[in-house]
Amino acid sequence: MKRVALVTGGSRGIGLGIAQALLKDGFEVAICGVRPTCDIKEFFYYQCDVSDAGARAKMLAALRQRFGRLDVLVNNAGIAPKVRADILDATEESFAELIRTNLQGPYFLTQAVAKWMIAQKSGCIINVSSISASVASVNRGDYCISKAGVAMATQLWAARLGEFNIPVYEVRPGVIKTDMTSVVTEKYDKLLAGGLALQARWGLPEDVGRAVASLARGDFLYSTGQVVLVDGGLTVQRL
Protein backbone atom coordinates (compact mmCIF):
# COMPACT_ATOMS: atom_id res chain seq x y z
CA MET A 1 0.00 0.00 0.00
CA LYS A 2 1.35 3.42 -0.96
CA ARG A 3 1.98 5.97 1.76
CA VAL A 4 -0.21 9.07 1.62
CA ALA A 5 0.99 12.66 1.99
CA LEU A 6 -0.96 15.90 2.28
CA VAL A 7 0.77 19.10 1.16
CA THR A 8 -1.12 22.27 2.01
CA GLY A 9 -0.71 25.03 -0.54
CA GLY A 10 0.59 22.37 -2.90
CA SER A 11 -0.65 23.65 -6.24
CA ARG A 12 2.13 26.17 -6.88
CA GLY A 13 5.52 27.44 -5.76
CA ILE A 14 7.29 25.66 -2.94
CA GLY A 15 4.27 23.48 -2.25
CA LEU A 16 4.20 22.18 -5.82
CA GLY A 17 7.93 21.45 -5.66
CA ILE A 18 7.31 19.42 -2.51
CA ALA A 19 4.31 17.59 -3.95
CA GLN A 20 6.27 16.64 -7.07
CA ALA A 21 9.20 15.34 -5.01
CA LEU A 22 6.89 13.19 -2.89
CA LEU A 23 5.13 11.86 -5.98
CA LYS A 24 8.52 10.91 -7.43
CA ASP A 25 9.25 9.02 -4.21
CA GLY A 26 6.12 6.91 -4.65
CA PHE A 27 3.66 8.68 -2.36
CA GLU A 28 0.00 9.16 -3.06
CA VAL A 29 -0.15 12.94 -2.84
CA ALA A 30 -3.09 15.12 -1.85
CA ILE A 31 -2.79 18.87 -2.11
CA CYS A 32 -5.04 21.71 -1.04
CA GLY A 33 -5.39 25.35 -1.95
CA VAL A 34 -7.92 28.16 -1.95
CA ARG A 35 -8.71 27.93 -5.68
CA PRO A 36 -11.91 26.05 -6.59
CA THR A 37 -10.12 23.69 -8.99
CA CYS A 38 -6.64 22.59 -9.92
CA ASP A 39 -5.59 21.21 -13.31
CA ILE A 40 -2.67 19.13 -11.98
CA LYS A 41 -4.11 15.65 -12.42
CA GLU A 42 -1.33 13.71 -10.66
CA PHE A 43 -2.60 14.84 -7.27
CA PHE A 44 -5.87 14.63 -5.39
CA TYR A 45 -6.89 18.27 -5.00
CA TYR A 46 -9.19 19.60 -2.30
CA GLN A 47 -10.22 23.23 -1.98
CA CYS A 48 -9.41 24.34 1.55
CA ASP A 49 -8.45 27.58 3.24
CA VAL A 50 -6.33 26.31 6.12
CA SER A 51 -7.37 29.29 8.24
CA ASP A 52 -10.97 27.96 8.24
CA ALA A 53 -11.60 25.30 10.89
CA GLY A 54 -14.68 23.94 9.14
CA ALA A 55 -12.85 23.64 5.82
CA ARG A 56 -9.98 21.79 7.51
CA ALA A 57 -12.37 19.27 9.07
CA LYS A 58 -14.13 18.65 5.74
CA MET A 59 -10.80 18.15 3.97
CA LEU A 60 -9.62 15.55 6.47
CA ALA A 61 -12.96 13.74 6.19
CA ALA A 62 -12.52 13.65 2.40
CA LEU A 63 -8.99 12.27 2.77
CA ARG A 64 -10.21 9.57 5.16
CA GLN A 65 -12.88 8.55 2.69
CA ARG A 66 -10.53 8.47 -0.30
CA PHE A 67 -7.33 7.06 1.22
CA GLY A 68 -8.20 5.72 4.67
CA ARG A 69 -4.82 6.82 6.03
CA LEU A 70 -2.44 9.77 6.22
CA ASP A 71 1.28 9.18 6.63
CA VAL A 72 2.77 12.63 6.08
CA LEU A 73 1.43 16.12 6.69
CA VAL A 74 3.37 18.99 5.12
CA ASN A 75 2.20 22.33 6.51
CA ASN A 76 3.30 24.54 3.65
CA ALA A 77 0.36 26.89 2.93
CA GLY A 78 1.06 30.48 3.81
CA ILE A 79 0.61 34.05 2.67
CA ALA A 80 2.71 37.18 2.53
CA PRO A 81 1.33 40.53 3.67
CA LYS A 82 -0.70 42.31 1.01
CA VAL A 83 1.36 45.43 1.71
CA ARG A 84 4.95 45.36 2.92
CA ALA A 85 4.58 48.02 5.59
CA ASP A 86 7.10 49.31 8.09
CA ILE A 87 6.22 47.98 11.54
CA LEU A 88 5.62 51.58 12.64
CA ASP A 89 2.75 51.72 10.15
CA ALA A 90 1.54 48.12 9.79
CA THR A 91 -2.09 47.31 10.54
CA GLU A 92 -3.70 44.93 13.01
CA GLU A 93 -5.81 43.55 10.17
CA SER A 94 -2.74 42.36 8.28
CA PHE A 95 -1.20 40.93 11.45
CA ALA A 96 -4.37 38.99 12.29
CA GLU A 97 -4.71 37.64 8.74
CA LEU A 98 -1.12 36.35 8.63
CA ILE A 99 -1.25 34.79 12.07
CA ARG A 100 -4.54 33.06 11.26
CA THR A 101 -3.30 31.63 7.95
CA ASN A 102 0.40 31.01 8.59
CA LEU A 103 0.29 29.89 12.22
CA GLN A 104 -3.16 29.25 13.70
CA GLY A 105 -4.44 27.21 10.76
CA PRO A 106 -1.41 24.88 10.52
CA TYR A 107 -1.25 24.55 14.31
CA PHE A 108 -4.80 23.23 14.58
CA LEU A 109 -4.55 21.19 11.39
CA THR A 110 -1.57 19.51 13.05
CA GLN A 111 -3.67 18.90 16.17
CA ALA A 112 -6.34 17.09 14.16
CA VAL A 113 -3.86 15.12 12.06
CA ALA A 114 -1.80 14.19 15.12
CA LYS A 115 -4.83 12.51 16.68
CA TRP A 116 -5.39 10.59 13.44
CA MET A 117 -1.72 9.52 13.35
CA ILE A 118 -1.74 8.48 17.01
CA ALA A 119 -4.72 6.21 16.32
CA GLN A 120 -3.01 4.97 13.17
CA LYS A 121 0.23 4.40 15.16
CA SER A 122 2.40 6.04 12.50
CA GLY A 123 3.02 9.33 10.75
CA CYS A 124 5.31 12.28 10.18
CA ILE A 125 4.70 16.04 10.26
CA ILE A 126 6.81 18.60 8.41
CA ASN A 127 6.37 22.35 8.84
CA VAL A 128 7.66 24.65 6.11
CA SER A 129 8.58 27.99 7.64
CA SER A 130 11.12 30.55 6.39
CA ILE A 131 14.43 32.11 7.32
CA SER A 132 12.15 34.96 8.39
CA ALA A 133 11.57 32.91 11.55
CA SER A 134 14.95 34.17 12.71
CA VAL A 135 15.97 36.96 10.29
CA ALA A 136 14.23 40.28 10.96
CA SER A 137 12.54 42.18 8.12
CA VAL A 138 11.03 45.36 9.55
CA ASN A 139 8.79 45.88 6.50
CA ARG A 140 6.96 42.58 7.10
CA GLY A 141 7.02 41.98 10.80
CA ASP A 142 3.70 40.13 10.73
CA TYR A 143 5.19 37.53 8.38
CA CYS A 144 8.33 37.12 10.49
CA ILE A 145 6.34 36.65 13.70
CA SER A 146 4.03 34.10 12.06
CA LYS A 147 7.02 32.05 10.91
CA ALA A 148 8.75 32.32 14.28
CA GLY A 149 5.54 30.88 15.72
CA VAL A 150 5.74 27.97 13.28
CA ALA A 151 9.28 27.29 14.52
CA MET A 152 8.07 27.04 18.12
CA ALA A 153 5.05 24.99 17.06
CA THR A 154 7.46 22.47 15.54
CA GLN A 155 9.25 22.07 18.85
CA LEU A 156 5.99 21.83 20.77
CA TRP A 157 4.55 19.12 18.54
CA ALA A 158 7.84 17.25 18.47
CA ALA A 159 7.85 17.23 22.27
CA ARG A 160 4.22 16.14 22.50
CA LEU A 161 4.33 13.43 19.83
CA GLY A 162 7.68 11.92 20.70
CA GLU A 163 6.10 9.25 22.89
CA PHE A 164 4.06 8.11 19.88
CA ASN A 165 7.11 7.90 17.60
CA ILE A 166 5.71 10.57 15.28
CA PRO A 167 8.60 12.83 14.22
CA VAL A 168 8.01 16.53 13.59
CA TYR A 169 10.43 18.64 11.57
CA GLU A 170 10.84 22.18 10.31
CA VAL A 171 12.17 23.01 6.86
CA ARG A 172 13.28 26.62 6.66
CA PRO A 173 13.69 27.93 3.08
CA GLY A 174 15.67 31.01 2.16
CA VAL A 175 15.17 33.11 -0.96
CA ILE A 176 13.16 30.83 -3.25
CA LYS A 177 12.05 31.75 -6.78
CA THR A 178 8.23 31.56 -6.73
CA ASP A 179 5.30 33.77 -7.62
CA MET A 180 5.38 35.08 -4.03
CA THR A 181 8.91 36.44 -4.51
CA SER A 182 8.39 37.65 -8.08
CA VAL A 183 7.67 41.18 -6.84
CA VAL A 184 11.18 41.42 -5.35
CA THR A 185 13.13 39.67 -8.12
CA GLU A 186 15.29 42.67 -8.99
CA LYS A 187 16.13 43.31 -5.33
CA TYR A 188 17.28 39.77 -4.65
CA ASP A 189 19.06 39.39 -7.99
CA LYS A 190 21.35 42.21 -6.84
CA LEU A 191 21.68 40.93 -3.27
CA LEU A 192 22.54 37.40 -4.35
CA ALA A 193 25.06 38.68 -6.88
CA GLY A 194 26.56 40.73 -4.06
CA GLY A 195 27.11 37.79 -1.73
CA LEU A 196 23.88 37.60 0.29
CA ALA A 197 24.14 33.79 0.36
CA LEU A 198 27.18 31.54 0.18
CA GLN A 199 25.68 29.88 -2.90
CA ALA A 200 25.07 32.79 -5.26
CA ARG A 201 21.76 31.75 -6.78
CA TRP A 202 18.07 31.71 -6.10
CA GLY A 203 16.72 28.65 -4.35
CA LEU A 204 14.19 26.64 -6.33
CA PRO A 205 11.02 24.84 -5.22
CA GLU A 206 12.68 21.53 -6.04
CA ASP A 207 15.48 22.33 -3.57
CA VAL A 208 12.88 22.47 -0.81
CA GLY A 209 11.08 19.45 -2.27
CA ARG A 210 14.17 17.26 -2.00
CA ALA A 211 14.66 18.22 1.64
CA VAL A 212 11.04 17.50 2.55
CA ALA A 213 11.08 14.19 0.66
CA SER A 214 14.13 13.01 2.60
CA LEU A 215 12.33 13.68 5.88
CA ALA A 216 9.12 12.08 4.65
CA ARG A 217 11.03 8.95 3.54
CA GLY A 218 12.35 8.52 7.06
CA ASP A 219 16.00 9.32 6.36
CA PHE A 220 16.21 11.25 9.65
CA LEU A 221 14.10 9.22 12.05
CA TYR A 222 16.23 10.13 15.07
CA SER A 223 16.11 13.89 14.48
CA THR A 224 12.63 14.97 15.56
CA GLY A 225 12.25 18.65 16.36
CA GLN A 226 15.14 19.69 14.16
CA VAL A 227 15.38 22.47 11.57
CA VAL A 228 16.61 21.82 8.02
CA LEU A 229 17.81 25.03 6.41
CA VAL A 230 17.44 25.29 2.64
CA ASP A 231 18.91 28.75 2.18
CA GLY A 232 22.16 28.40 0.24
CA GLY A 233 24.09 29.36 3.35
CA LEU A 234 22.35 32.74 3.69
CA THR A 235 22.05 32.51 7.45
CA VAL A 236 25.65 31.43 8.08
CA GLN A 237 27.20 34.10 10.28
CA ARG A 238 30.24 35.74 8.68
CA LEU A 239 32.75 38.38 9.64
Question: What pLDDT sits at residue 1?
Answer: 84
Q: Are 78 and 133 in contact (CB under 8 A)?
A: no
Question: What pLDDT sits at residue 183?
Answer: 85
Percentage, residues of the chain above pLDDT 70:
100
* 227-230 β-sheet, strand order: 44-47, 28-33, 4-8, 72-75, 124-128, 168-173, 227-230
Q: pTM, whole model, 2 decimals?
A: 0.97
In the chain, what are the domain boundaries?
Answer: 4-230
Give residue 96's pLDDT band: very low, low, confident or very high (50, 70, 90).
Answer: very high
Is the confidence at residue 220, as pLDDT, over 90? yes
Give the integer Cα–Cα distance in Å for 152 and 164: 19
pLDDT digits (tens, 9 = 90+) for 155-199: 999 999 999 999 999 999 999 999 888 888 999 999 999 999 999
Superfamily of the domain at 4-230: NAD(P)-binding Rossmann-like Domain (3.40.50.720)
Catalytic residue ranges: 143
Give the integer Cα–Cα distance in Å for 151 and 232: 19
Give the integer Cα–Cα distance in Å for 212 and 6: 12
* Centroid of chain to Cα 197: 21
pLDDT digits (tens, 9 = 90+) for 19-31: 999 999 999 999 9
Find the radius of gyration of the CA atoms of the chain. Answer: 17
